[in-house]
Amino acid sequence: MNVGNDKSTVTYLPGCSPFDQRPPEKKETVVVTSMASDSHTWNLVFLQLLIEELGFEVVNLGPCVPDEILVDECRDIDPVMVVISSVNGHGHQDGLRVIEQLRACASLSATPMVIGGKLGISAGADTTHLDQLVTAGFDAVFEDGITGVAEFKTFVASIPAGTPRRLQVAA
Amino acid sequence: MSQVLRYPEPGKPVDFGAFVRTMGGNGGLVVQPRMGLCVPEDMRAGLAATKAAAATTVGTITLDSYTRVGDLRAADTALREGIGLNGYPIVNHTKSTTRKVLAGTWDHDFPVQIRHGSAVPKDIFKAMMALNLNATEGGPVSYCLPYGRTPLADSMRNWEECCDLFSELIETGVEPHLETFGGCMMGQLCPPSQLIAMSVLEAIFFVQHGLRSVSVSYAQQTNMIQDIEAVFALRRLCAELVPTENCHVVIYAYMGVYPTTPDGAYRLLGQAAELAVTTGAERIIVKTKAESKRIPVVAENVEALEYASDVASRSTPPAPGYLGEDSETYLEASALVQAVLNLDPDVGHALLLAFKYGYLDIPYCVHPDNMGRTRSYIDERGWLRWSETGSLPLAHLVEKRAAKKATSGDLLRDLQYVRGEFDCAAWAPGMLYAERS
């Protein structure tokens, strides 16, 4: 099953050829991040592990990421998805501000981007602020107590199958 | 370590450290809330309620998160437009406003500590010093790595400058006090030996920059026996290495995912108070039954202060001078501290090198200056352990463990372990550990 050098005259015992080893799988990168005012970390660590388990590389930008750094890093990394998590109650305002800047970058205009956590200060049935986030450019919003890990996993699973950006790249 | 409290000259505030060392230790415990209210009248009422609680208390003014990150313009906008802040904006409120907040409570029997969490704290120090407020907390590493992306070297410079500045109070006859936040890194899942090492190293840093009155923190973790071992180790290392007499220990009630039931919350707080007295620690920072849901109101804080004080009064202090055995925690913490101190005589520089080489490495901390090669887990007895030690100088002390990569599910289970244990326990809240085992 040599996939490398067909003309080689060297013979190997079965399974011992260096050409038998498949090159390490190249995983796609997801950016996990908080926003400027949120200093929480454990939510980000959990998401990193979860997304790695779903088969991606994760770049975790950590807590309190200033807008400019968030946008620059996403532009440099060019990830297959951006996952923003916020639990300090300012996620709604911060999210509206940040998504506008992210979507303004040509290379990030079609990248799947989601936001989740405890996004408002008042827990309750009113979900207008969540709709606003979608209108502003997020592909999905996961508010604590409304949508959870299962829905998030389903969304992530849908990513490699032909998102707009990937189609663009393939074309 | 009780001693006679030397009252300062009239008009000068009492030394926070001297007060706590007089009232706490040898069975006594000074109790302290987390409390930060934006409106001056509310803050004043909070201090008054803390002072009036049936316990030996000290006051707290916690600052808001805009002030914490140095965004004074945002704090100013919020004040002008009447938007609520999550703490007291000490830099933006005028001196006379803060004087009114303190009037009638802050005195020789009720010292007040300013709490913030800033890696860029110069404005905060200046605002405090202008009011002779002489007690605060933090640290160059502990207020930097867990909370953002400020480079560690920048935080180190900021804290060096602020400690030097704060020490200038000494010349005016006012004793400044600084508490290390190093014993609370990440709130949960950092093994005790590294928490202790951080606390001791930050305390040495403070003293190198002129402070004489310091305290070292330790946040309650997952197992009482391990915590007892840890606090004795902390006290012993301080006695050995922190070059000042005026040093005390402050215990933080659990800082991770908190129990949701009132009984669970009080079981956990009670155990923290018992931990403090059992190990000879002098002060405790409480958590309330509202912890898992929201910021507590003043009345809930008072209830928690009195509860902790009651449990403390029924707990037994250690024999005078007892500082524990050569426990596992002591040996690990000592190895970490010595490895760092050997890097450079200047502790600030040694700390920078230590993080660069991975001699200190906080599990799960994603700051760019943290190496990020260590991991921890909770074992079957509830002890917090190393699963991966990265480059920590602990190879000779920590048993090699078959590496099994922790999953997101494992992490979630460990994060919620304490909540489950204390919410579901069968014992009555307030019952002492010593009576149960």
Q: What is the CATH number of the domain that holds A129?
A: 3.40.50.280
The answer to whether residue A120 sits within a structural domain is yes
Interface test with A, best of B67, B149, B376, B387 (most A CBs within 10 A): B149
- Nearest residue of chain B to residue A36 (CA atoms): B148
- Nearest residue of chain B to residue A69 (CA atoms): B149
pLDDT in tens, B53-68: 999 999 999 999 889 8
- Nearest residue of chain A to residue B375 (CA atoms): A45
Q: What is the pLDDT of residue A22?
A: 67
Return the ∠ at Cα A70 (arms to A67 and A73), rounded to 5°.
Answer: 145
Cα separation, B124 vs B66, in Å, equals: 12
Average pLDDT over every residue of B156-179: 97
Mean pLDDT of chain A: 84
The b/e string for B7-16 (b: 16+ C-beta within 10 A; e otherwise) is ebeeebbbbb
Query: Cβ B408–A49 below 8 Å, yes or no?
Result: yes
The answer to whether residue A142 sits within a structural domain is yes
pLDDT in tens, B2-11: 445 666 677 7
Residue type, B417: Y
- Nearest residue of chain B to residue A61 (CA atoms): B366
Average pLDDT over every residue of B243-261: 97
Residue B423 CB contacts under 8 Å (≥ 6 apart), including other chains: B259, B260, B261, B263, B264
- Nearest residue of chain B to residue A46 (CA atoms): B408
Measure in Å the smallest separation between the Cα of B146 and chain A Cα atoms: 7
- Tally of structural domains, chain A: 1
Q: B75 to chain A: which residues are within 8 Å by CB? A: none
The answer to whether residue A138 sits within a structural domain is yes
Measure in Å the smallest separation between the Cα of A73 and chain B Cα atoms: 13
The answer to whether residue A15 sits within a structural domain is no
Measure in Å the smallest separation between the Cα of B132 and chain A Cα atoms: 30
- Structural domain boundaries in chain B: 1-437
pLDDT in tens, B415-425: 999 999 999 99
Residue B173 CB contacts under 8 Å (≥ 6 apart), including other chains: B8, B9, B12
**Residue A157 belongs to what H/E stretch?**
helix A149-158
CB pairs under 8 A between A and B: 55
B147 touches chain A (CB under 8 A): yes
- Could you give the maximum distance between any two Cα atoms of chain A, in Å? 72
Query: Cβ A46–B411 below 8 Å, yes or no?
Result: yes
Give the structural domain span for A53. Answer: 25-170
- Model pTM? 0.90
Please say whether the beta carbons of B140 and B102 come within 8 A. Answer: no
Name the band, by pLDDT with cuts 50, 70 and 90, for residue B151. very high
The answer to whether residue A2 sits within a structural domain is no
Fold observed for domain B1-437: TIM Barrel (3.20.20)
**ipTM of this model?**
0.87
* pLDDT-wise least confident of A94-98, A123-127, B364-368: A123-127
- Count Cα atoms within 13 angstroms, Cβ side, for B147: 23
Chain A positions touching chain B (beta carbons under 8 Å) = 36-37, 39, 41-42, 44-46, 48-50, 53, 60-66, 69, 88
**B70's tokens:** 């140095």
CA distances, A152 to each of A109, A141, A158 (Å): 21, 9, 10
Q: What is the pLDDT of residue B403?
A: 65
- Residue B249: alpha-carbon gap to chain centroid: 9
Query: Cβ A41–B146 below 8 Å, yes or no?
Result: yes
Measure in Å the smallest separation between the Cα of A89 and chain B Cα atoms: 11
